Chains A and B, each alone.
Chain A
Amino acid sequence: MSDAKSRSHKAQKVIDRMGQKLSRQIAGSMIACVHCGMCIDSCHYVLANPGDPTYAPPYKADKIRKLFKKHFDWTGRVAPWWVKAGSVYTDEDLQELKDVVFGMCTNCRRCSLNCPMGVDFATFNRMARGLLVSVGVMPEGVAVVSKDQWETGNQMGVLKEDYLETIEWMEEEMRDELEDPDAKIPIDNPDCEVIYSINPREVKYDPRTIADAAKVFHAAGESWTMPSEGWDMTNFGLFSGDDDLGASVAKRLYEKVIELRGKRLVISECGHGLRSTQCEAPNWAKFDVPFEMESSVFTMLRYIKEGRIKVDKSRNPKPVTYHDSCNLARSCGVTEEPRELLHLVCEDFREMYPNRAENYCCTGGGGAMSMSEYTPRRLKSGVVKANQLKDTGAEVVVTSCHNCVDGLTDVIRHYELNMEVTQLVNLVANALVIEEKVAVPVERVPEVAVADLPLAGRRLVVADDEPDQVEFLAAVLEDNGATVFRAGTGDEALELVRREKPDLLTLDLSMPGRDVGEVFEMLRTELAFEDLKVCVITGRPELRRLIYDRSVRRPEGYLDKPVSEESLILNVRKILELAHEHETVG
């Protein structure tokens, strides 16, 4: 490059690596844009920011395209100003590019489908992310999650023991619910028809979905198992653009299925998980997958059609709508099967408009939920989704994607819509008609006595500097029977723990006053608090190092904001109940 001398090391690497990453499809997308503007208002960011052209897909695309024009195309090399060709020279230029490719686009592909020329911006935006990640330029949340997935094999850093304990816990719940001692969640059984892989979010925030899926498999009499390792079907490589990470993550799963001699890999409801595992990763990993793969939506639908499970749609009477995940609808063609299933298990299904491949992003796509620095921007763009949701008049929004569950939950809370978010597996499990094995009549208690509430008798300290958040957490916990003490700073939290001796402390990581890491370490080292359980609840995952880098026992739980009522209760219960079991066993 003639101007290489004036370029920083990282910027030079980005240019060099771009040359290796340019496929014919990407190069075509770089050249073919005619700046017609037809795609502009297909983007939810544009609609939410009227008058601001910097969100327009071709405007954002040109930030990457200019590099192509300057370094690889003809006219741009000779007369760069004529075609707005340009380069990156400094690390600040890379930071600016980072802000565009990570912070102003969720790679939802809606503009790609609306471009008459076939320009696939989302695909080359992902390439640009990968180039920046390769030189270490990325939002901190992306770095944290990527690191977790490289190191622990799953993107939420769930440890093997946590995973297995959660499954065990869910197995017990399922047994109790079905009153069937044979109900099991098998682990590592070889030669099964189905290997079921999940999203680590299910272990951390939504274990109910594991139990619900298990109920469905059990009712269908399926020969199935979950793997003890390589169980994460999500893939942060899709979001970060890091093909090596994508390949490595998927290979762990593929190899485990091969080791267990599974016939079919069933992927729980997750848009990017399905897209990565089924469509993209065989290419990233250069791996010919010798078994079938499908979304659990297809599996559940087949069970009903084959009469393997019976459902009663009157058990789901609330009006529901369906949100198409971008990855499912625009990259995997999964649009009709979820609807078919919904018609079978719900009484009142209402379509959302626009829908299917034209649906708008939940705002949480492309890994946006892990990039806390862009949260205000993301939530602002959520107005498009919020209006779509509101117009349906539904009380429940169903989605077949864990990422969308988080994105939608956040939008619903921010725009104060009175809706709940759920997944198909929850509705199918709820509609399941299971023939009772035991004919002992069970007396139903009409009202829940306080002592029966799941957190009755528990003492908790909630520490967070946002009063709304404290009130929300405290109210949910109190409604479930706990006695809650509120703290707004690290010092207050310390004082309350010393005074009230709670069972559990929920801890925000960015509170004013004394450093939260220090507070945590003090509590961990004081003998009096040996039994105190800590659950971190944060909107800034990049701050986890404040706690996790310390050489003391790790927190028992970790939740990313926004937290739903259900996941809060499930996690708090899990922490307290598992602790209780261990104590009993011990």
Chain B
Amino acid sequence: MSNLLHFSEHTLQEIALTFMALVYVTRITWFLRRFKAGTERQAPSGSPQTTKAKGVLYSWANVAMPWAMESTRSRPFMYVQFVVFHLGVTAAIALSFVIPYGAELLDSQLVVLLFQVIIGAACAVGVVRMIRRVSNPYIRAISSPDDYFSVALLTVWFFFAVLAAPNSTAMGEWHLLTYFLLTAFFLVYVPFSKISHYLYYPFTRYYFGKSMGYRGVYPLRGG
């Protein structure tokens, strides 16, 4: 292993991770301090089966209940894409830890294959998403350069993660090096891009669910 690859797998990742963590902490602090949560003075309304707590849980669980929202219920293919894409992100991040700190795991061809299938599928979804973003007039109209770049970045990163999964230098180091450089860039870039949505997701769904539960809307009734 070259010094450059070693540096990329270890020191660079550690710097990038620390940076990301610092920015995340700063952002969450800013979010919680700068913006005050509204208080609810009114008595709870709606059905007694709906409460604040139930509303929050329902709201958080929504992501795993594609039948609960018309938007996901009516687009099963989009929902599958969503699941695959996010599994791919998780796997590609996990891989960036496995290679430097638990490479022996990748001695198993099955594990390598599992990483490659999940991340490869996510890469394919990335391509589909990019095509959709460019070709669908609605999505194009709402897209910013950050939206295009984020999808492209992740798709390319997935691609190199697939190549890096066997952790083999038989064909050279360039694919591993590119994967780790992209991972570091990804970690540094994420807090400033829309990819950081997962940081706010628990909050938005928490407040929405809380209010909806308190007012008798969540969990949705009847139907």
Interface residues, chain A, CB within 8 Å of chain B?
22-29, 31-35, 37-40, 42, 46, 51, 53-54, 56, 58-59, 62, 72, 74-75, 81-84, 112-120, 278-283, 286-289, 292-293, 329-336, 339, 354-358
A450 to B185, CA, bound (A): 86
Partner of B38, one of A281, A283, A288: A283
A19 to B114, CA, bound (A): 48
CB distance A82 to B41 under 8 Å?
no
Q: Which residues from A are CB-within-8-Å of B141?
A: 53-54, 56, 59
CB distance B208 to A25 under 8 Å?
yes
CB distance A32 to B41 under 8 Å?
no
Interface residues, chain B, CB within 8 Å of chain A?
27, 31-32, 34-43, 45-47, 50, 59, 62-63, 69-72, 75, 78, 82, 136-147, 192-194, 197, 200-201, 203-209, 211-212, 215-217, 220-223
CB distance A83 to B146 under 8 Å?
yes
Smallest distance from the beta carbon of B78 to chain A beta carbons, Å? 7
Partner of A283, one of B27, B39, B143: B39
| Contact (A35, B143) CB under 8 Å given A75-B192, A279-B215 | yes
Partner of A32, one of B59, B78, B139, B197: B197
**How many A-B contacts at CB < 8 Å in the complex?**
181
Smallest distance from the beta carbon of A34 to chain B beta carbons, Å? 5
Q: Which residues from A are CB-within-8-Å of B36?
A: 23-24
A356 to B223, CA, bound (A): 7
| Contact (A40, B138) CB under 8 Å given A25-B208, A113-B69 | yes
**Cβ-closest chain A residue relative to B205:** A118
Partner of B215, one of A112, A292, A331: A331
Smallest distance from the beta carbon of B212 to chain A beta carbons, Å? 8
Smallest distance from the beta carbon of A553 to chain B beta carbons, Å? 43
- Given A53-B140, A336-B221, 11 other A-B residues pairs in contact with their CB atoms under 8 A: A24-B37, A35-B142, A38-B78, A39-B71, A279-B42, A332-B45, A333-B50, A333-B215, A334-B46, A335-B222, A358-B223
CB distance B203 to A333 under 8 Å?
no
Q: Which residues from A are CB-within-8-Å of B193?
A: 75
A283 to B41, CA, bound (A): 6
**Cβ-closest chain B residue relative to A25:** B207
CB distance A117 to B205 under 8 Å?
yes
Partner of A333, one of B45, B63, B72: B45
Q: Which residues from A are CB-within-8-Å of B40?
A: 283
CB distance B147 to A289 under 8 Å?
no
CB distance A37 to B215 under 8 Å?
no
Q: Which residues from B are CB-within-8-Å of A331?
A: 215, 217
Smallest distance from the beta carbon of A168 to chain B beta carbons, Å? 33
Q: Which residues from B are CB-within-8-Å of A355?
A: 223
Q: Which residues from B are CB-within-8-Å of A292?
A: 43
CB distance B216 to A334 under 8 Å?
yes
CB distance B194 to A34 under 8 Å?
yes
**Cβ-closest chain B residue relative to A60:** B142
CB distance B38 to A335 under 8 Å?
no
Question: Which 8 A/B pairs are nearest by Cβ-Cβ distance?
Answer: A333-B216, A333-B46, A53-B141, A118-B204, A118-B205, A28-B204, A114-B71, A282-B41
CB distance B63 to A84 under 8 Å?
no
| Contact (A53, B35) CB under 8 Å given A114-B69, A279-B45 | no
Partner of B47, one of A40, A288, A333: A333
A46 to B27, CA, bound (A): 34
Q: Which residues from B are CB-within-8-Å of A279?
A: 42, 45, 215
A388 to B2, CA, bound (A): 67
CB distance B137 to A278 under 8 Å?
no
A24 to B142, CA, bound (A): 24
A437 to B59, CA, bound (A): 54
Smallest distance from the beta carbon of A132 to chain B beta carbons, Å? 21
Q: Which residues from A are CB-within-8-Å of B138?
A: 37, 40, 46, 53, 56, 59
CB distance B59 to A35 under 8 Å?
no
A262 to B61, CA, bound (A): 41
**Cβ-closest chain B residue relative to A120:** B208
A31 to B207, CA, bound (A): 14
Smallest distance from the beta carbon of A365 to chain B beta carbons, Å? 16
Interface centre among A81, A331, A333 (most CB of B within 10 A): A333
A115 to B139, CA, bound (A): 15
A40 to B142, CA, bound (A): 10
A131 to B21, CA, bound (A): 35
**Cβ-closest chain A residue relative to B195:** A34
A72 to B32, CA, bound (A): 14
What are some 12 contacts across the A-B interface (CB < 8 A)?
A: A23-B38, A24-B207, A34-B147, A38-B72, A53-B137, A56-B142, A83-B144, A118-B206, A118-B209, A278-B45, A288-B41, A333-B221
Q: Which residues from B are CB-within-8-Å of A288?
A: 41
Q: Which residues from A are CB-within-8-Å of B209?
A: 118
Partner of A27, one of B34, B39, B47: B34
Partner of B222, one of A25, A54, A113, A336: A336
Smallest distance from the beta carbon of B45 to chain A beta carbons, Å? 6
| Contact (A25, B204) CB under 8 Å given A282-B41, A332-B217, A336-B221 | yes
A339 to B221, CA, bound (A): 12
CB distance A82 to B204 under 8 Å?
no
A129 to B204, CA, bound (A): 21
Smallest distance from the beta carbon of B140 to chain A beta carbons, Å? 8
Q: Which residues from B are CB-within-8-Å of A27?
A: 31, 34-35
A292 to B44, CA, bound (A): 11
A289 to B223, CA, bound (A): 33
Smallest distance from the beta carbon of B84 to chain A beta carbons, Å? 14
**Cβ-closest chain B residue relative to A280:** B42
Smallest distance from the beta carbon of A542 to chain B beta carbons, Å? 32
Q: Which residues from A are CB-within-8-Å of B137?
A: 51, 53
Smallest distance from the beta carbon of B214 to chain A beta carbons, Å? 8
Smallest distance from the beta carbon of A377 to chain B beta carbons, Å? 18
Q: Which residues from B are CB-within-8-Å of A74?
A: 27, 192
CB distance B220 to A24 under 8 Å?
no
CB distance A354 to B204 under 8 Å?
no
Smallest distance from the beta carbon of A336 to chain B beta carbons, Å? 5
Smallest distance from the beta carbon of A266 to chain B beta carbons, Å? 14
CB distance B223 to A32 under 8 Å?
no
A335 to B27, CA, bound (A): 39
CB distance A32 to B45 under 8 Å?
no
**Cβ-closest chain A residue relative to B140:** A53
A281 to B69, CA, bound (A): 29
Partner of B71, one of A81, A116, A283: A116
Q: Which residues from B are CB-within-8-Å of A329?
A: 217
Q: Which residues from B are CB-within-8-Å of A330?
A: 217
Q: Which residues from B are CB-within-8-Å of A281?
A: 42
A35 to B144, CA, bound (A): 9
CB distance A118 to B222 under 8 Å?
no
